[in-house]
Amino acid sequence: MLNKLKAFWRVVRRLSGDDAYERYLRHHAEQHVDEPPLTREAFFKQWQDGKWKGVKRCC
């Protein structure tokens, strides 16, 4: 039961983008080891600005 709740929480965090920075750090550690990662603030700014560049919502 606890595991299921935890899994549900992970889905909620993933869907809302709450864990975006953690995912970014993981991606960064895998692919771009040579440069330092962005700070939390800087990453979130970039992530949010990028998210609203196109058609994101419908009627």
Partner 1 sequence: MKTILKNCLWLLIALSGAAAVGGIALHRGESINSLWFIAAALCVYALAYRFYSAWIAARVLMLDASRATPAVRLDNGRDFVPTNKWIVFGHHFAAIAGPGPLVGPTLAAQFGYLPGTLWILFGAVLGGAVQDMVTLFLSTRRNGRSLGQMAREELGAIGGTAALVGTFAIMIILIAVLGLVVVNAMKHSPWATSTVAATIPIAMIVGLYMRHFRAGKVLEASALGVILLLLSVAGGGWVDHNATLRVWFDHEGLTLAWWIIAYGFAAAILPVWLLLAPRDYLSTFMKLGTVIVLAIAILMLQPEVKMPALTQFIDGTGPIFGGKLFPFVFITIACGAISGFHALIASGTTPKLLENERDIRMIGYGAMLLESFVAIMAMIAATVLDPGVFFAINSPAGIVGKEAADAVATISGWGFPVTVAQMDTLAREMGEATLFARTGGAPSLAVGMASIFGSAFGQGLLALWYHFAIMFEAIFILTTLDAGTRVGRFMLQDMLGNIWPKLGETSWYPSVLFTSALVVAGWGYFLYIGVIDPNGGVNILWPLFGISNQMLAAIALSVATGIFVKSGRLKFAWVTALPLTWLVIITSTAAWQKIMSDDVRVGFFAAANDMAAKLASGALPPEKAAVAPQLIFNQQLDAWLTLFFVVILWVVILDMLRVCWRYLAGKPVRPSTEHPHEPAPLNAQWVRD
Residue listed under structure tokens 């965090």: 13
Identity of the residue, 2 or 15, whose beta carbon is nearer to partner 1 in the bound complex: 15
Cβ-based nearer residue to partner 1, 6 or 17: 17
* Single-letter residue type at 10: R
Task: Enter the tokens of residue 29.
Answer: 């550690």
Question: What would you measure as the largest C-alpha separation in the chain, in angstroms?
Answer: 44
CB closer to partner 1, 1 vs 15: 15
- DSSP annotation of 1: -
Binding site for partner 1 (CB under 8 A): 11-18, 20-21, 23-24, 27-28, 31, 40-41, 43-45, 47-59
